[in-house]
Amino acid sequence: MARSKVFQSLVDSDPQNVMFRFSLGQALWQEGDAKAACEHLRCATEAKLDWMMPRILLGKCYLSLQQKEQAKAAFAEALKLAIAQGHEEPEAELRGLISNL
């Protein structure tokens, strides 16, 4: 069974659970469905303002959908969090992603 199906059933059982929404978004991204992933990743970013990872994945989804301005905004938010939280590797990755836009 696809991972997204597992997480979709969890989201269906508890739509307010942000971890389930993030995990579903991540699974959809990994399965190549960036458009569907966006909804769940946006939910995760809105629920936890200091959560960097959903912002990075959301930016990557937008980038794959050719939505460069939205990608840049998501990456910029994630970069601020990476710097504030001392995450050096994500910071370097985000700087590279932003510079290539």
The alpha-helical segments, DSSP class H, found in 1-101 are 3-13, 18-30, 34-47, 52-64, 68-85, 88-99
Tell me the residue length of the chain.
101
What is the pTM for the complete model shown? 0.94
Looking up tokens 């939205």, which residue turns up?
70
Mean pLDDT of 16-43: 97
Answer positive or negative: Cα dihedral of 73, 50, 44, 46. Answer: negative
50-70 per-position pLDDT tens digit: 999 999 999 999 999 999 999
Residue type, 32: G
Domains defined for the chain, CATH in brackets = 3-99 (1.25.40.10)
Residue 93 has which token pair? 């990755």
Mean pLDDT of 72-76: 98
